[in-house]
Chain A
Amino acid sequence: MTHSTTDWDALAHRARWQRQARTAAITLFLVAVSIPIILPYFWMVMIAFTARTGGAEADTLWTACAVLVPITIGYAVAYQMLSGRARLAAAGLALALAIALLFVFLGDALHVNNFRFLVNPNVVEELRGKATAGAQFPWVWSAFFNSLVLATVQMLIVVAVSTMAAYYLSRFHFMGRAAFLQSLLILQAFPAITLVIPIFLIVYWVGLLNTLTAPILVITTLELPFFIFIMKGFFDAVPWDTEMSALTDGATRRQAFRMVVLPQVTTGMIAIGVFAFIKGWEEYVFVTGLRTGNSYWVMSTYLYYVREDVMGVDYGLVAAVSVMYVLPSLILYLFAQKYLTQMTLGGVKG
């Protein structure tokens, strides 16, 4: 040992140890700050499945936590140590264990009675008599259907209009293109929600108050600049040579758009479609502001008035409605999560 007294093994050991310690510390920190977000959602689910008429049983929440937290930690540790199929097996085991233990400790408390509003149109009236602030509550499915129509139609319009516009802005040269893009940029940064009053007036003047059409058109429009820029980003990324090639192969520009360019931006269309749907599904301000709620119940107003009327009387019902309301958004969100990172905001400098 003439050349060196460095103990490489010790250095490597220290480096490994430091790396693991750092990962552990960061994970711990993120878990700690994420608890305030997850816990309320978890509580909502627990209330929905355990609350009896009268109030929420806090005990069940903490019991469930006491069951799930150790299992989750155990799974996380196992995940770190195992790999491949063993991980899958660990996940299955953890899931089975969680379900089994939840049944053992909470079996008596769990019930689906709070979801009776799904089959019984008159739940709210039965609870509160006729003295409901929201007056006549419809069956929840009618609100669900209206929300579905609002969100879907809105999504279709957003996807169609912004795709068409973005393609044209990305691929065609025309007089005033630069000016148009720059104005659109201002509209995109503009805080559209400040316009709720004049929009109400315009909708009133054109006679569209109390309709589903008004919020559909308004929400679509206010999101349009944002989605056009996102789609333009996708179109800008489609190589020019495929389109040039299509033209020399004999296609018109519209044919090239339909057959060659459009299939290359489906990711973008799905992404903006999902986000437009989620936006339409949650809409509250314009649905109430444009008085749509007077004629059409949607999920947001339904939940709002259920909350106003029976919050003190039946927590379970309110939580169950919330669960039903939040579920479509969540499913779509999980599905669309991978697209989120692919969207770039309208030309921000990198």
Chain B
Amino acid sequence: MAEIELRNLSKAWDASVAVDGIDLTLADGEFAAILGPSGCGKSTTLFMLSGVYTPTGGEIRFDGAVVNDVEPRDRNVGIVFQSYALYPNMSVLQNILFPLRFKQVDDADKRAREMAELVQITPLLDRRPSQLSGGQQQRVALARALVKRPNLLLLDEPLSNLDATLRLTMRAEIRRIVTELGVTTILVTHDQLEATTMADRVICMNAGRIEQTGSAEDLYLRPDTLFVAGFIGSPPMNLLAVDPSAAGLRLDVDGPVTLGLRPELLRAAETGVPATVSHVEPMGRETLYTAQSELGQVRFLEPTARPNWAFGDMLKLAFDPADTLLFAPDGQRVPDAHATWKDLAHA
């Protein structure tokens, strides 16, 4: 187990910069999730941590020691790939034993079997990877990554190939196993729910940089940047370019800003921003409406049971000024600044 520290870590290829100076410290035994859009440098970061890519700048420290030039085989890192990367020419047991072939381990077989027991694949030990289902392969990959008792466990979108039910069970399983072993873990994912349910801390990346780190709640309620605000949450936050001179709107700041307002925090009311419904998407328990308002196009969620609106209906939308977020033109949130509407009935 180890404390992991990244200092100004960068990776560039001739044409492109994949990771652009990130700083990050993970406490021993911490479970962090990296969340970000495709191509933002998540895998590249993991590959630098595991040692198969060499950083073009910055430092990687394990327990305070710089490991930039340490060979992958000497770092004692376990990694699970999106495609699992099982060795097709070996049986499940041989796959799990593989990392121990390079260590002086007396009870290799026993350890491998214990690990198989932990991830519940003991009946499959003699099979080939091609004879396993996706979920089973994923457990084998996890066992193989953990059997050498790594300092650091890296999970690169390990659940993306699984169906919805299996994903739910595997989330809980992985969390259980990792907690049991107490290994420092980084999970890469596209899936916010996965990140927020599994990790202690969520790291949001974009274009090779870390936009924000914090608890799931932080990222959801108090996004530091416009990017995080737009990326986290589904349906996404309404982001409206507004002007202080706009009639009816009162802002805590001067100059043009972007107003952020979550769809579930907007509600139909007696007074508020006038709007006309332009699109209706029933989503089961709730219905997502799109409306043209005086502030621009907004989306809002209402319980389906409420009297429903239809295309063309006019209504007023109210919100709590404390729920509004304002972002400066450079994309950073303006702290403690909010917006309100002229005739909102203040709560």
Chain B nearest CB: distance from A186 CB in Å? 25
Chain A 200-243 per-residue mask, 1 if CB under 8 angstroms from chain B, else 0: 00000000000000000000000000000000000000010110
B78 at the interface (CB under 8 A from A): yes
Given the known interface contacts A250-B103, A260-B87, the answer about A244 and B98 at a Cβ–Cβ threshold of 8 Å is: no
B112 at the interface (CB under 8 A from A): no
Cα–Cα distance between A249 and B141 once the two chains are bound (Å): 11
A247 at the interface (CB under 8 A from B): yes
Chain A nearest CB: distance from B84 CB in Å? 8
Cα–Cα distance between A246 and B47 once the two chains are bound (Å): 13
B307 at the interface (CB under 8 A from A): no
Cα–Cα distance between A255 and B73 once the two chains are bound (Å): 11
Q: Determine if A248 and B89 form an interchain contact, defined as CB atoms under 8 angstroms apart.
A: no
Q: Determine if B148 and A245 form an interchain contact, defined as CB atoms under 8 angstroms apart.
A: no
Provide the residues of chain B in CB contact with A259, threshold 8 Å.
Answer: 87, 98
Cα–Cα distance between A263 and B85 once the two chains are bound (Å): 14
Contact of A248 among B77, B86, B88, B103 (CB under 8 A): B77
Question: Which of under 10, 10 to 19, 20 to 34, or 35 or more describes the interface residues of B?
Answer: 20 to 34
B41 at the interface (CB under 8 A from A): no
Chain A nearest CB: distance from B319 CB in Å? 47
Q: Determine if B81 and A250 form an interchain contact, defined as CB atoms under 8 angstroms apart.
A: no
Chain A nearest CB: distance from B124 CB in Å? 19
A329 at the interface (CB under 8 A from B): no
Q: Determine if A244 and B73 form an interchain contact, defined as CB atoms under 8 angstroms apart.
A: no
Within 8 A of A (CB), among B84-104: 85-89, 98-99, 101-103
Provide the residues of chain B in CB contact with A242, threshold 8 Å.
Answer: 85-88
A252 at the interface (CB under 8 A from B): yes
Contact of B89 among A239, A244, A247, A263 (CB under 8 A): A263
Q: Determine if A247 and B72 form an interchain contact, defined as CB atoms under 8 angstroms apart.
A: yes
Cα–Cα distance between A241 and B129 once the two chains are bound (Å): 15
Chain B nearest CB: distance from A36 CB in Å? 44
Given the known interface contacts A239-B85, A241-B81, A260-B87, the answer about A248 and B98 at a Cβ–Cβ threshold of 8 Å is: no
Q: Which residue of B lies closest to A249 (CB)?
A: B99
A251 at the interface (CB under 8 A from B): yes
Q: Which residue of B lies closest to A245 (CB)?
A: B85
| Number of residues of chain A lying within 8 A (CB) of chain B | 17
Q: Determine if B83 and A239 form an interchain contact, defined as CB atoms under 8 angstroms apart.
A: yes
A122 at the interface (CB under 8 A from B): no
Q: Determine if A246 and B87 form an interchain contact, defined as CB atoms under 8 angstroms apart.
A: yes
Cα–Cα distance between A119 and B47 once the two chains are bound (Å): 66
Provide the residues of chain A in CB contact with B75, threshold 8 Å.
Answer: 248
Cα–Cα distance between A244 and B49 once the two chains are bound (Å): 12
Q: Determine if A241 and B99 form an interchain contact, defined as CB atoms under 8 angstroms apart.
A: no
Cα–Cα distance between A281 and B73 once the two chains are bound (Å): 45
Q: Which residue of A lies closest to B94 (CB)?
A: A259
Count how many pairs of residues, one from A and one from B, have CB atoms less than 8 Å apart in the complex. Answer: 63
Chain A nearest CB: distance from B78 CB in Å? 7
Provide the residues of chain A in CB contact with B72, threshold 8 Å.
Answer: 244, 247-248
Q: Which residue of B lies closest to A247 (CB)?
A: B72
Cα–Cα distance between A247 and B103 once the two chains are bound (Å): 13
Cα–Cα distance between A280 and B148 once the two chains are bound (Å): 48
B50 at the interface (CB under 8 A from A): yes
Chain B nearest CB: distance from A177 CB in Å? 14
Given the known interface contacts A264-B88, A264-B89, the answer about A248 and B83 at a Cβ–Cβ threshold of 8 Å is: no
Given the known interface contacts A241-B81, A242-B87, A244-B85, the answer about A249 and B47 at a Cβ–Cβ threshold of 8 Å is: no
Chain B 141-178 per-residue mask, 1 if CB under 8 angstroms from chain A, else 0: 00010001000000000000000000000000000000
Cα–Cα distance between A248 and B51 once the two chains are bound (Å): 8
Q: Determine if A244 and B102 form an interchain contact, defined as CB atoms under 8 angstroms apart.
A: no
Given the known interface contacts A244-B50, A246-B87, the answer about A251 and B102 at a Cβ–Cβ threshold of 8 Å is: yes
Q: Determine if A250 and B87 form an interchain contact, defined as CB atoms under 8 angstroms apart.
A: no
Q: Determine if A248 and B50 form an interchain contact, defined as CB atoms under 8 angstroms apart.
A: yes
Chain B nearest CB: distance from A305 CB in Å? 48
Cα–Cα distance between A248 and B89 once the two chains are bound (Å): 18
B79 at the interface (CB under 8 A from A): yes
Q: Determine if A249 and B148 form an interchain contact, defined as CB atoms under 8 angstroms apart.
A: yes
Within 8 A of A (CB), among B42-93: 47, 50-52, 72-73, 75, 77-79, 81-83, 85-89
Q: Which residue of B lies closest to A260 (CB)?
A: B87
Chain B nearest CB: distance from A14 CB in Å? 44
Kindly list 7 other residue pairs between chains A and B, CB separation below 8 angstroms, not including A244-B72, A247-B72, A263-B87: A241-B81, A241-B83, A244-B50, A245-B87, A248-B75, A249-B144, A260-B89
6 pairs from A and B in contact (CB 8 Å cutoff): A244-B81, A245-B87, A245-B144, A246-B98, A248-B72, A251-B102
